Amino acid sequence: MECLYLVIPCYNEEAVLPETGKRLTEKLHTLIRDGKVSGQSRIAFVDDGSKDRTWALIEELHAHDGLVQGIRLSRNEGHQNALLAGLMTVKDQADITVTLDADLQDDIDAIDGFLEKRGEGCDVVYGVRNSRASDTVFKRKTAVCFYRLMQTLGVDIVYNHADYRLMSRRAVEALSRFREVNLFLRGIVPLIGFRSDTVPYERHERFAGQSKYPLHKMLAFAWEGVTSFSVKPIRLIAATGAIIFSVSILMLLYFLFLFLQGKTVAGWTSIVISIWAIGGLQILSTGIIGEYIGKIYLEAKGRPQYLIDQYLQ
């Protein structure tokens, strides 16, 4: 029987943690009792530098039930880094891991489906929402745009899959070999390969607390996904440059023709406009290229992505 670790990132989740702790321990006890996972299985809550009582609640859950572990990051590193921190911390004990959000919007009974697929030999199982009825219209629309954009830019991500997934030990080992600082797990996990499958589930509303993903974080996340995985924006700029260059040659011929006719002053407007247009484009290009150089810079520094403050086990 395999040992399962549930990894749950928590950022200011005091409103949901007591209930989440209760539901998850019940679920894991049932799975152990039914002989689906080994008795060594655990629930690892990762406190992502919360400013409320999240850590105190995790300590309480840990004291009440031996199944609960707590990992406390030294500061807020964001959802993706908190997930990575949790996975890397438990990877030597866990045969399989399942990552899920603290608000239990993802149906925890889908874990049975995950385990079945695991039994069939999958190393990665993606939880996929079969409806987005519980999301706001705005969130649904922006999500669709996001998947479309990623597809157009050639980034391979699983449609309607958030970070609710099962990974085997070797998949997590493989993930640990991706040394990127700009972390976008949904883009990296499909790159790992191995056998994978999807399990559909119903997504609920948050039963308490607020979303920790306001618009600016969502936009930052999408931007991260695009710039960490795709070089198409750079290619687009190169293509635009080529087109503009061709057009400027045609314009040159046109102005030469006007010059030969002795009407040069008439061309002043178009020249000034083209100077402005090209100047603007150059600045934009420099900005986007700078974005990539910024990423190289961060990778070259090799900063640790997380530092663990405490590990209760």
Q: Please name which of 14, 8, 54, 13 lies closest in space to residue 27, comparing C-alpha atoms.
A: 8
**Nearest distance from C-beta of residue 79 to Mg ion, angstroms:** 10
Q: What are phi and psi of 247, to 5 degrees?
A: -60, -40
Give the binding range for Mg ion (CB under 5 A) out of 16-24, 101-109, 144-152, 247-255.
101-109
- Residue 6 as a binder of ligand UDP (CB under 6 A): the answer is no
Decide which of Mg ion, ligand UDP, none touches 106; Cβ closer than 5 to 8 Å per partner kind: none
In contact, 209 and 11? CB cutoff 8 Å = no
- Residue 143 as a binder of ligand UDP (CB under 6 A): the answer is no
The DSSP line for 11-63 is SS-TTTHHHHHHHHHHHHHHHHHTTSS-TT-EEEEEE-S-SSSHHHHHHHHHH
**Nearest distance from C-beta of residue 28 to Mg ion, angstroms:** 20
Q: Which amino acid is at 82?
A: A
Q: Which residue of 42, 79, 91, 117 would you call a contact of ligand UDP, by CB under 6 A?
A: 79
- Residue 105 as a binder of ligand UDP (CB under 6 A): the answer is yes
Distance CA 208, CA 22 (A): 14
**Nearest distance from C-beta of residue 99 to ligand UDP, angstroms:** 10
Pull the structure tokens for residue 164.
């609710």
Distance CA 182, CA 159 (A): 21
Q: Which residue of 76, 142, 285, 305 would you call a contact of ligand UDP, by CB under 6 A?
A: 76
When the beta carbons of 8 and 94 are compared against Mg ion, the nearer one is 8
When the beta carbons of 20 and 25 are compared against Mg ion, the nearer one is 20
- Cβ-based neighbours of 148, under 8 Å, separated by 6 or more: none
- Residue 103 as a binder of ligand UDP (CB under 6 A): the answer is yes
Q: Please name which of 105, 110, 131 lies closest in space to residue 207, comparing C-alpha atoms.
A: 105
Residue list 35-64, contact with ligand UDP (CB under 6 A) = 48
Decide which of ligand UDP, Mg ion, none touches 102; Cβ closer than 5 to 8 Å per partner kind: ligand UDP
**Nearest distance from C-beta of residue 135 to Mg ion, angstroms:** 10
- Residue 103 as a binder of Mg ion (CB under 5 A): the answer is yes
- Cβ-based neighbours of 14, under 8 Å, separated by 6 or more: 50, 52, 53, 54, 57, 209
When the beta carbons of 16 and 174 are compared against Mg ion, the nearer one is 16
Q: Judging by beta carbons within 10 Å of its beta carbon (0-12, 13-18, 19+), is residue 122 exposed, middle or buried?
A: buried
- Residue 48 as a binder of Mg ion (CB under 5 A): the answer is no
Q: Which residue of 105, 160, 168, 227 would you call a contact of Mg ion, by CB under 5 A?
A: 105
In contact, 58 and 10? CB cutoff 8 Å = yes
Q: Which residue of 4, 5, 6, 11 would you call a contact of ligand UDP, by CB under 6 A?
A: 11
Please give the residue ranges that form the binding site for Mg ion (CB under 5 A): 101, 103, 105
Please give the residue ranges that form the binding site for ligand UDP (CB under 6 A): 9-11, 13, 48, 76, 78-79, 82, 101-103, 105, 211-213
